[in-house]
């Protein structure tokens, strides 16, 4: 997936639309097609993840993956991806996931409940979002 986004024309278009939508539109690219294809790819990958998760648990439920939502966002934000868009990378997100895994292990070792872990993840996301907002306001 990383290779596809970095090396293919489609991946370059996704980066270009995210970077400067006006310039891409003036270059003659149909932005709506790039967006629709990106959302379609995200939906397909999400459905594959859902099928794998359902196969792993042996059950299907609408709330099956809600426990993974906040930690995945927290991993991306810890890795340097701004929730406001435009900033981020793969290496940082992978590093954020590793940091979050260590934090999760520490909280589990300390017998911290799942609800408190979610509060910790949410606090991290809010604190980093506040920090990113402060940085973007200054520049």
- Taking alpha carbons only, the member of 50, 52, 70 closest to residue 61 is 50
45 Cβ neighbours under 8 A, 6+ residues apart: 1
pLDDT of residue 6: 81
Q: What is the CA radius of gyration of the chain?
A: 18
pLDDT of 65-94, one tens digit each?
888 888 888 888 888 877 766 666 778 888
pLDDT of residue 106: 92
pLDDT of residue 110: 93
Measure CA 8 to chain center: 21
pLDDT of 118-132, one tens digit each?
898 889 888 888 887
Model confidence, pTM: 0.71
Whether the Cβ atoms of residue 94 and residue 52 lie closer than 8 Å to each other: no
Whether the Cβ atoms of residue 125 and residue 83 lie closer than 8 Å to each other: yes
Give the C-alpha separation, 95 to 115, whole Å.
24
pLDDT of 20-62, one tens digit each?
889 999 999 999 999 999 999 999 999 999 999 999 988 888 8
- Taking alpha carbons only, the member of 69, 45, 86 closest to residue 121 is 69
Whether the Cβ atoms of residue 10 and residue 38 lie closer than 8 Å to each other: no
């Amino acid at each position: 997936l990383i290779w596809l986004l970095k090396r293919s024309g489609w991946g370059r278009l996704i980066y270009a639309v995210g970077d400067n939508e006006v310039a891409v539109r003036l270059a003659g690219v149909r932005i709506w097609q790039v967006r629709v294809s990106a959302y379609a790819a995200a939906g397909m990958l999400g459905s594959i993840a859902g099928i794998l998760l359902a196969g792993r648990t042996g059950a299907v439920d609408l709330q099956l993956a809600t426990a993974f939502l906040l930690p995945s966002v927290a991993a991306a934000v810890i890795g340097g991806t701004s929730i406001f868009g435009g900033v981020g990378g793969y290496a940082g997100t992978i590093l954020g996931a590793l940091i979050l895994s260590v934090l999760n292990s520490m909280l589990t070792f300390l017998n911290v409940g799942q609800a408190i872990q979610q509060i910790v993840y949410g606090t991290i996301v809010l604190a980093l979002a506040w920090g990113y907002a402060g940085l973007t306001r200054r520049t």
